[in-house]
Amino acid sequence: MRRRRTAWTAAVLVLAVALTGCVSLFVPAPARTTSTPTGEEVSAELRPFYAQVLEWAPCGQGFQCSTAEAPLDWADPARESIELALTRSAAPGEPLGSLLVNPGGPGGSGYDFVRDSLDYAVSADLRERYDIVGFDPRGVGRSSAVDCHDDPGELDDYLFGIPEGEPGTDAYLAELEDSASRFAAECARISGELLGHVDTASAARDLDLLRSVLGDERLNYLGYSYGTLLGAVYAELHPDRTGRLVLDGAVDPSVTEAEASAVQAKGFESALRAYLADCLTGSDCPFDGTVDEAVDDIVALLDRLEESPLRAPDGRSLGRSTMFYAIVLPLYTAENWPYLDELFTTVRDGDAEYAFVLADSYFSRDESGAYTDNSTEALIAVNCLDYGATTDADALRAQEAELERTAPVFGPSVADGATQCAGWPYPPRLERGPIAATGSAPILVVGTTGDPATPYEWAQSLAGQLENGHLVTYDGEGHTAYNKSNDCVNDAVDGFLLEGVVPEADPRC
């Protein structure tokens, strides 16, 4: 059945999944103190940060806002500090504690997510019992933020520019790497030392600081997409301080950049095939024949765009890379699949304008050409510190060939992304490997079988790595599941966060 169009939802806003069924475990209600700090032992250098008292002020629509200070460099906390922006919706009565929420990215604003989408982020029952806290991680949004351009046109050139060389050649790869190196140099020039300290491990240490200054002895946390990696790293660093953690749309911390690219390319390929199977059942589908034939048509369309980009009314050129983002955005949720109908119809008719509407939405670029946040710059900065760069030309070509074989639509564009961290001025800081979080409280890991961005196998892997991980499967399409899938998922997550109930087996929602 064809789905009607719904209000547009930004792709970085992610959700979580829940469980029902028999239970055999019970997690005690998270302890809460009335003072800050909460009494844990910290070094003399860290004491000023953990002893700070947050000053909350009304900031509209019933929310309160505040700013915390954190060390720029956790290895040298006395040297310099950064700011972390917070907003919260206070529980009407005596709360169980604070529930910190991260929407994903990396680069997504938890501040904006909670302020603008509170009902979407958490259920009414959670809002009743928890202080719901949104925060911008280091490098993001209203916190001390990375910045990589003086003029929006510079970011336009980096994101939408088309190399002159033939794809796959040394000249083509050199152009991509040169562009990435120039972008990295501008990031370093404008952002300064902050650029080297926006890695996930540092952000996880910030999370513990926020837990303490909010007055909680244990962290209660809801993380979506990239937010699952942040939560898992926190649990590895501070297993004894985990309260109730829900990780929805899990990222596998053990995979390399190349492995992650391969799995994600196949995930989006699978989601595209699901869209096509649905589309071909309707009378207004822009494709005919079988799913395989429709995939061949899309590959041919992308090849034409690579050879002869389409000019948009604003002068930008639509090539394969920008079309990739235009296709990807509606695939995050099945409710937005109908946007793909118009995308493919207009581009095949030689009109690039609608494709740029979708691509601009992906990159938070408004109609005036301004970027409304720094999510793209923050995403690149965090990923370059978490994954590092692949610059060997032979390895890049081999990776592209394999991706093109397993994911013919998305593989070539994903492979080009491997050059994004070329010339990055700081080395990777996050060690890739399995996370066990030995000694932690139970952790719920939610996975959606048809998730294109964080494929289901990652949720299975993370739940298996965690010593006390518990998998909740949502059998459906879309990126994440809590508060947008079904009662089985929602009841399970709420039951865990509110009552500490853990399923003895995956309920397969």
Region for residue 206 given its phi and psi (left: phi exceeds 0; alpha: psi -120 to 50; beta: otherwise): alpha
Assigned token pair, 433: 């490997």
| Residue 479, pLDDT score | 94
- Judge: domain 23-143+200-254+434-503, CATH 3.40.50.1820: yes
Rounded to an integer, the average pLDDT of 51-70 is 97
Amino acid at 159: L
pLDDT confidence of 482, banded at 50, 70, 90?
very high
Rounded to an integer, the average pLDDT of 292-304 is 96
Question: If DSSP codes are grouped into helix, strand and coil, which group holds residue 432?
Answer: coil
Kindly report each contact of residues 155-159 with a partner whose C-beta sits within 8 Å and lies 24 or more positions away, as own/partner.
155/371, 155/376, 155/377, 156/316, 156/369, 158/182, 158/183, 159/322, 159/363, 159/376
Rounded Cα–Cα distance for residues 387 and 396 (Å): 15
| Residue 393, pLDDT score | 64
pLDDT confidence of 312, banded at 50, 70, 90?
very high
Q: Domain residues of the chain, as ranges?
A: 23-143+200-254+434-503, 152-195+256-419
pLDDT in tens, 459-473: 999 999 999 999 999
- Contact in structure between 412 and 419 (CB atoms under 8 Å): no
For the ranges 208-222, 366-380, 410-424, 478-492, which has the lowest average pLDDT?
A: 410-424
Question: If DSSP codes are grouped into helix, strand and coil, which group holds residue 274?
Answer: helix
- Residue 163 pLDDT > 50: yes
Assigned token pair, 259: 């492995």
pLDDT in tens, 323-357: 999 999 999 999 999 999 999 999 999 999 999 99
Rounded Cα–Cα distance for residues 223 and 463 (Å): 14
Share of the chain above pLDDT 90, in %: 77
| Residue 38, pLDDT score | 58
Provide the β-strand partners of residue 83. Answer: 69
Burial of 116 from C-beta contacts in 10 A (0-12 / 13-18 / 19+): middle
Q: What is the pTM of this model?
A: 0.91
pLDDT in tens, 76-101: 999 999 999 999 999 998 889 999 99
Rounded Cα–Cα distance for residues 88 and 65 (Å): 6
Helical H segments across 280-308, by residue range? 291-307
Rounded to an integer, the average pLDDT of 482-499 is 96
3-state secondary structure 363-418: CCECCCCCECCCHHHHHHHHHHHHCCCCCCHHHHHHHHHHHHHHCCCCHHHHHHHH
| Residue 390, pLDDT score | 66
For the chain, the residue count is 509
DSSP letters, 64-113, are EEEEEEEES-TTSTTS-EEEEEEEEE--SSS-SEEEEEE--TTT--HHHH
- Contact in structure between 104 and 225 (CB atoms under 8 Å): yes
Residues annotated as catalytic (active site), given as ranges: 225, 451, 479
Rounded Cα–Cα distance for residues 222 and 99 (Å): 7
Question: Cβ neighbours of residue 119 under 8 Å, at least 6 residues apart?
Answer: none
- Residue 21 pLDDT > 90: no
Question: If DSSP codes are grouped into helix, strand and coil, which group holds residue 134?
Answer: strand
